[in-house]
Amino acid sequence: MFIRRRQLAPICCLPRRPRPTGTIVHATARTIDWLLVGLLAVGSIPATIVTLVLLSWFDLKSAMAQHTITISLGVVLLATALFLLAGRRIREHYAARLNVLDQRTRSFCTVVLGFVMGVLVTLTSVGAGAIGVTVLLLLHPKMPAGRVVGSDIAHAVPLTLLAGAGHWYLGSIDWGLLGNLLVGSLPGIVVGSHFASRARDAVVRIALATVLVIAGVRLLS
């Protein structure tokens, strides 16, 4: 993957899962905890609005803005790769400490997580996947993993729509690039899903983490 700094836009159009479709699937299977989605949204929606307002104060095409976004994206990509590879160990290491948290504290931490996710997604377009799910599993260990994933996907829909609408208003979306990505990503989702469902989970995680590390290092170098 070759990424040049001068080509970066405030929204990094990385391939994504079809979140609206995923939400419908999870809702039908009743694997969405709407209370959890609400807690995340309480933090993420204001964070997204605040981040968009702050971005509106700057010239997003300036060298300083592009440098800040590039560094932020590189760091988030590397952090995501770390959580992909070591998520289970992280959960095992901190599980005992977080199990003693009361429900009020868990709810507050979930709102804070939503706030962080709102900032990361609005600034870099990534951060709500491996990082969000790992922390949610830590905060809600008694909740089935499938329900956590479904809730994370459901929460990502309004968050992504709001962030995308904000960047559209700011004029920081390259529609030609977005169109090209959609043309390639839609069939790519079908092909990727076909092979991913037949590959070992560890292989998929390592492959994805490798791509993220290469991109992250490239951005930071």
Look-up of token digits 């803005």: 65
Question: Does position 131 have pLDDT exceeding 90, yes or no?
Answer: no
pTM of the model: 0.74
**pLDDT at residue 128, as a whole number:** 67
Look-up of token digits 């995680």: 205
Over residues 165-180, the mean pLDDT reads 85
Question: Does position 15 have pLDDT exceeding 50, yes or no?
Answer: no
List the one residue out of 135, 182, 129 whose CA is nearest residue 156. Answer: 129
Phi/psi of residue 32, nearest 5 degrees:
-120, 125
Higher pLDDT, 174 or 193: 174
pLDDT band at 189 (very low <50, low <70, confident <90, very high): low
Question: Does position 16 have pLDDT exceeding 70, yes or no?
Answer: no
**pLDDT at residue 49, as a whole number:** 95
Name the amino acid, one letter, at 109. Answer: C
Using DSSP's 3-state secondary structure scheme, residue 61 falls into coil
> In whole angstroms, what is the distance from residue 198 CA to residue 35 CA?
33
> In whole angstroms, what is the distance from residue 70 CA to residue 4 CA?
10
Q: Quick: pLDDT tens for 70-97.
A: 888 888 888 888 888 887 787 777 777 7
**pLDDT at residue 193, as a whole number:** 61
Q: What is the DSSP string of 200-217?
A: -HHHHHHHHHHHHHHHHH
The half-sphere exposure of 169 on its side-chain side, counting CA atoms within 13 A, is: 11
Phi/psi of residue 64, nearest 5 degrees:
-65, -45
Q: What angle do CA 93, 99, 100 make, to 5 degrees?
A: 125
List the one residue out of 151, 129, 136, 125 whose CA is nearest residue 48. Answer: 125
